[in-house]
Structure 1
Amino acid sequence: MALIETGESMKQIADIKYNLDDNMKMNFLEPLHTLSTKDIKEVQVRG
């Protein structure tokens, strides 16, 4: 019984980790990439 509960807990932790990874990518890494590829190039062209 304890092994089943441990396995379920590990599965829940993995799900949380994947959700956090997706959230980090969507809310931080992708906007940062857009900033570095688009907005900074626009500043360099105008400057």
Structure 2
Amino acid sequence: MAQYIVTMNSDDLEKAQRRGFDADPHVLPQRLTDQFEAGGLFGFRFFK
């Protein structure tokens, strides 16, 4: 079973939802953010 990480602009998701797409069954509760020091991708921090 393959797993993918998808990033999408919120306005593109809104367009798809207006056309009938229901994202809720496909969205995992994990949220990616760099707003806080503890943010990152599943506990990993990436630096330039």
Answer whether TM exceeds 0.5 for this pair: no
TM-score band, normalised by the shorter chain? under 0.3
Higher helix share: 1
